[in-house]
Amino acid sequence: MNNASQIIDNTRKQGRAVLTEIEAKRVFKGIGINTIETRLASSLKEATAICDDMGFPVVLKIASPDITHKSDAGGVKVGLKNKTEVRKAYGEIMASARQKYPAARIEGVSVQSMARPGIEIIIGMFKDAQFGPVIMFGLGGIFVEVLKDVSFRLIPIVQRDAEEMIKEIKGYSLLQGYRGQEPANIPSLVDILLKVSDFVERTPEIKEIDLNPVFAYKDSALVVDARIVMEG
């Protein structure tokens, strides 16, 4: 927790409202949520060294406090299988980011290992004008985009609320292992919801959170991408 609040303090001192991906992931890791390992590489050399350490395949993303929509900036490359691909991707990401956001401060790239595919989940939080902080759970990917298959509760939630939120979505049967697919580990998802609720309750300056996607597996769940927005 100390770690998490230090990161948040640091962001505020720099006058930023949005945490970088790496900062956000460190915050969630710091509050005990299983989060994919993601490290900052400030040069190509560092990037390839991290890859050696992590193993392939990897994902590279532009790391800049000024670029929040990384894909739009051509700043995301996935499934890189070797050093050659990493070198090429690094060059393309830098070129594209500089072209589209010439004024952006660029710290380098984030390097993360490719997560084993699981059931895509979205967990989030925002502040409602009437009700204050609200937590959301839903199926990710097209389910959230097209069907808006999500459920909400006011923060703070208790275990029963978290369990109900999960059971409430229309696609709940997908989490139970539809057609021989691996089921999702519900207690792990409940745990994430409770930890996010608890964290937001203790940190009122947080305005919005996206954990998108979270991959749910048979025995665990893993946060693959994270975003935190602070009150301005």
Partner 1 sequence: MNNAARVTQDSWRYLFSPASVAVIGASNTAGSWGNNAMKGLLNTGERRVYPVNPNSAEVLGRKAYHSVLDIPDPVDLVVIVVAEKLVPDVLRECVSKGVKAAVIITAGFGETGEPGRKLEAELAEIARQGGIRFIGPNSMGHADTRTQLSTFGQSGEMPRGSVAVLAQSGNMCLKIVRNLAESGVAFSKYISTGNEADLRMEDYLEYLGKDDDTKIIAAYIEGLRDGRRFFRLAKEITVRKPIVVVKTGGTQESARAVMSHTGALAGADTVYTAAFKQSGVIRVEDDDELCDVVYALLNSPLPRSNRVGILSIGGGPGAMTAEACEKEGLAIGTLEPATITKLDKYLPSRWPRRNPVDMSGPSAAEFSVIADLLTALIEDKNLDFIFLLAPIVMDRALLASRMGLNPEAIKAYREKEEKNMMLIREKVEKYEKPVVTMWQMRGLSNTPDTAPLLRKGKVLVCANARRAARVLRYLVWYRQYLDATTRK
Sequence-distant (≥ 6) Cβ neighbours of residue 129 within 8 angstroms: none
Of 7-15, 30-38, 86-94, 134-142: span binding partner 1 (CB under 8 A): 134-142
Side chain identity at 97, as an amino acid letter? A
Number of shown-chain residues binding partner 1 (CB under 8 A)? 32
Residue (22 or 228) nearer to partner 1, CB: 228
- Of 150, 169, 174, 192, the one binding partner 1 (CB under 8 A) is 150
Query: Applying CB under 8 A, does 194 fall inside the site for partner 1?
Result: no
Query: Applying CB under 8 A, does 162 fall inside the site for partner 1?
Result: no
Residue (75 or 133) nearer to partner 1, CB: 133
Binding site for partner 1 (CB under 8 A): 18, 68, 122, 124-132, 134, 136, 138, 144, 148, 150-154, 157, 160-161, 164, 208-210, 212, 227, 229
